[in-house]
Amino acid sequence: MSAFLIRRLLRFVVVCFGVSLVTFSILHASGDPIALIMPEAPEADRVQLRVALGLSDPLPTQFVRFVTNAARGNFGNSFFHREPAFRLVVERMPTTLGLTCLAVALAIAVALPVGIYSAVRRNTVGDHAATAVVFLGQSMPVFWIGIMLMLLFAVQWRLLPVSGWATWSSMVLPAVTLGAFTIVVMSTLQVAQAILAEAALSFLGVGSGNAYPTWGQMISLGRDFVTVAWWLATLPGFAILLTVLAINLVGDRLRDALDPRAT
């Protein structure tokens, strides 16, 4: 029993170390926070602030300080809001939980009946239609779905608010966007998932630099012009959709051809 607990404890320590290391690496790969705080300040002032915040220290020193502060519950201050980061997270937690519950409820309400129907009525028109919708859902990145829904329902048709959290109608677009991804059964090829993961990271500004534009970066930059040049955010999303859809279709056919249970 003691050996089992020791192994579990060691695994816990390793997992915590790995998670903290990945989080620390992503934070540093996201860019220079000084450029966000002082975008137009001279370089001398930037260097002074970087020293004051400890960002000029060696990376191992910063990592140890990051882990030590996190273990004590001190997650520092937000560079953007200039407030304690943990308090900002707690303030937004009710909104996040409400949106998550609504998205999961929507996903269950749609996915469960469709899944049962496809299982009972295999190889029918409805089954093939559900499969086509699943392939489309797997091929579209969530952040692009959100922009397209915002473009249609908020900008073009003006049926729902484009942002905010004042009324229940403000929750519709975010909930549908998150629920659409949960509805789709995640059983696709790793290559397709890698494309979507890379697009999501580049959409957030993590990964390749500006010298190597990616579809995710194009969508991220194009969303600022969605009201005047909608194609800037739409066309890169369609490129991701078609690429991942093609990979999914090829993988599905190969699976059917090579699966011994299908013969």
The residues, ordered by sequence, that sit 6+ positions from 183 with a Cβ below 8 Å of its Cβ are 106, 107, 110, 111, 114, 137
86, part of any domain = no
Residues 45, 153, single domain; the answer is: no
Residue 59's domain comprises 2-74
The alpha carbon torsion through 108, 114, 119, 123 (nearest 10 deg) reads -160
Number of domains in the chain: 2
**Tens of pLDDT, residues 57-95:** 888 999 999 888 888 888 888 877 778 888 888 888 888
> Structure tokens of 72?
């004590």
The arithmetic mean of pLDDT across residues 121-145, rounded, is 75
Q: How many CB atoms lie within 10 A of CB 218?
A: 20
89, part of any domain = no
pLDDT grade, residue 189 (50/70/90)? very low
**Quick one: pLDDT at residue 190?**
47
Residues 101, 220, single domain; the answer is: yes
81, part of any domain = no
**198: nearest Cα among 182, 215, 223, 178:** 215
The arithmetic mean of pLDDT across residues 169-195, rounded, is 65
165, part of any domain = yes
The residues, ordered by sequence, that sit 6+ positions from 118 with a Cβ below 8 Å of its Cβ are 126, 127, 130, 131
Residues 52, 170, single domain; the answer is: no
10, part of any domain = yes
pTM: 0.55
80, part of any domain = no
87, part of any domain = no
How do the residues of the chain divide into helix, strand and coil, expressed in percent and rounded to 5?
Answer: 75, 0, 25
**Quick one: pLDDT at residue 260?**
47
Residues 107, 57, single domain; the answer is: no
Percent of the chain residues past pLDDT 70, beyond the cut:
73
**Spatial separation of the C-alpha atoms in residues 27 and 102, rounded to whole Å:** 29
The residues, ordered by sequence, that sit 6+ positions from 98 with a Cβ below 8 Å of its Cβ are 171
Residues 121, 243, single domain; the answer is: yes
For the chain, the average pLDDT equals 76
82, part of any domain = no
**Tens of pLDDT, residues 20-35:** 888 888 878 777 788 7
Residue 180 · residue 137 · CB < 8 Å: yes
**Tens of pLDDT, residues 142-174:** 778 888 888 888 888 888 887 777 777 888 888
